[in-house]
Amino acid sequence: MKMPSEFSADVQTIVGPLLAQLGFALDEIDDGPDEGGRQQHIVYYRSSDCKIQIYDSWREGEVNCMIAPRNAPNAFGLRTEKWHVLTRFAELPDVSLTDVVDLVKAELDAYPNQLEWVKARIAKYYDEAHAGILAMYDEGR
């Protein structure tokens, strides 16, 4: 049996407890390379009505998370239709894209590691993202 990556173990330790409080359980760990052979790690969590993935993509140069309806395939979200960044559903400040990038960078730099930042983003944006994903895919019945 292949051992999970350090990233996957860190996700479960740092972000996993918050996701458990929100009703999520670990669904799958994908430590396989991307289609170009570059390093990539994705940890999928599933709740009764949606999914969250936390990823570390060498190609994209970022650690982040995405949300999808429960029937979305476990696939890297930036390359699929149903996965969306949490902030897609949030009201963001009315500032230029450059200012948004600067704000996010400053926010990221304020955390000891990128997974702590991801955890904080889930805590901050999950409720809006959850409602938004259910409405978008008519899953809220």
Residues 104, 117: contact at Cβ < 8 Å? no
pTM for this entry: 0.86
pLDDT of residue 37: 72
pLDDT of residue 120: 94
- Regions of the chain where pLDDT drops below 70: 1-4, 59-60, 92-93, 95, 100, 139-141
pLDDT of residue 14: 97
- What sign has the CA pseudo-torsion 132, 19, 119, 12? negative
pLDDT of residue 139: 60
Task: Report how far Cα 116 is from the mean position of its chain's Cα atoms.
Answer: 12
pLDDT of residue 79: 73
C-alpha 78/C-alpha 88 separation (Å) is: 13
pLDDT of residue 103: 76
pLDDT of residue 77: 74
Helix (H) or strand (E) holding 20: helix 16-21
Q: How many helices and strands (H and E) does the chain possess?
A: 4, 5
Residues 76, 40: contact at Cβ < 8 Å? yes
User: In the chain, what are the domain boundaries?
Assistant: 6-136
